[in-house]
Amino acid sequence: MISVSLENVSKTYGDNPPTITMDLTIESGEFFTLLGPSGCGKSTMLRMIAGFIQPSSGIIRFGDSDVTRTPPNRRDTGMVFQNYALFPHMSVAQNVAYGLNVRKVDKKEKAARIDNALAQVGLAGYAGRRIDELSGGQQQRVALARAVVISPSVLLLDEPLSNLDAKLREETRVQIRQVQRAAGITGIYVTHDQAEAMAMSDRIAVLEGGRVHQVAAPREIYHRPATAFVARFIGRSNVLPVTVLGSDATTVTVDLPGGSRMDVPKAPDLRPSAGDPAALSIRPEVLRFTDGPSPLLRGTVRAAEFTGASVTYEVSMEDLTVNVTAPDHANGPQIGDSVGMTCDPDRVWLVQR
């Protein structure tokens, strides 16, 4: 196990602004995800960590060692790609053996390590199969076995589940985490899929346009998004424009759309001034309908989406639409109803607009 430090690591192409800049440490044994929409620079960062791309500036350290100029094959990383990158006409064992051959591991140890790696990914007994006889999910597990058979210090995964269907994606993500945990390898994972990132990661860096919006554990990112972008990108959120009316050490008073006032928790590093524009992130399950005389928000129900245990309502306010998720209930509001909504102030979060 080893930590990976990215000290102001940046990549710039030509005269463009930097494609990506990051300054953080991924802890030893951690499963860390770079999450963001297409083009945000996450693959570029992963490829710099792997050594396939040279940073324009900054230092990459594995533990205490500066590996910034170390070639990929000397970095002690295993990599899993979106398209598997296997040799299709070779057997499973021959594919998994690749890194062991390069390292000139002797025959007996090689066979034992291949068996062990295949067992770890649930493919014991598949050693003699040809790659082109396997399903996509099985192929990706071979790729995972090939990456971990060399006992790397760092496992790098670039959108490894993108080519699999929904059910296989869920199964394979559990397996990836099991293998990474059991082997005690530091894992760095790239995805654009926020649900996948939330389910798998110890911590997530949320990226957009080469900028790091937030680095935190999934719960923190969900409940305390740093910016409006994070609030919108992670799960479903209502991001309401608000105006700051005033603040003290622990709370900020804001003016909500529709004119109600609300005292919301203040992040320690936030120094809002009266009149500042801000945004309030309210998760749909935090909003609830109320018949009370002074609801925080009012609107008209436009749609209702039944998902089994709960219903998500689309409620339009003047020029805004909010989502409210409520348990499925026979007496729930109907489309066209005027509704009042309220929420627990401790469960909302003020973000930069």
List residues near ligand ADP by CB under 6 A. 13, 19, 36, 38-44
With H, G, I as helix, E, B as strand and everything else as coil, classify residue 291. coil
Helix (H, G, I), strand (E, B) or coil at 258: coil
Is the Cβ of residue 53 or residue 111 nearer to ligand ADP in the bound state?
Answer: 53
Q: Which is nearer to ligand ADP, 13 or 306 (CB)?
A: 13
Shorter beta-carbon distance to ligand ADP: residue 41 or 160: 41
- The nearest distance, CB 190 to ligand ADP, in angstroms, is 6
Q: Smaller CB distance to ligand ADP: residue 16 or 273?
A: 16
Place of tokens 């909302």: 348
Report residue 72 as tokens: 């990929």
DSSP assignment of 210-253 equals TEEEEEE-HHHHHHS-SBHHHHHHSSS-EEEEEEEEEE-SSEEE
Q: Between 40 and 92, name the residue whose CB sits nearer to ligand ADP.
A: 40
Shortest distance, position 14 Cβ to ligand ADP, whole Å: 7
Shortest distance, position 131 Cβ to ligand ADP, whole Å: 26
Residue nearest to ligand ADP (CB): 43
Nearest distance, CB of residue 47 and ligand ADP, angstroms: 8
Q: How far is the CB of 192 from ligand ADP (least distance, A)?
A: 7
C-beta of residue 215 within 8 angstroms of C-beta of residue 25? no
Q: How far is the CB of 60 from ligand ADP (least distance, A)?
A: 16
CA distances in angstroms from 151 to 24, 44, 78, 105, 148, listed in the order given: 24, 24, 8, 12, 5
Of the two residues 155 and 280, which places its CB atom closer to ligand ADP in the complex? 155
Nearer to ligand ADP, 194 or 325 (CB): 194
Give the H or E element holding residue 224.
Answer: none
Report in angstroms how near the CB of residue 351 gets to ligand ADP at its nearest: 22
Q: Is 228:353 a contact under the CB 8 Å cutoff?
A: yes
- Helix (H) / strand (E) containing 340: strand 338-342
* Helices 107-120 and 166-183, axial angle in degrees (round to 10): 130
Cβ 310 vs Cβ 323: under 8 Å: no
> Any idea of the CA torsion for 215, 218, 222, 227, to the nearest 10 degrees?
10
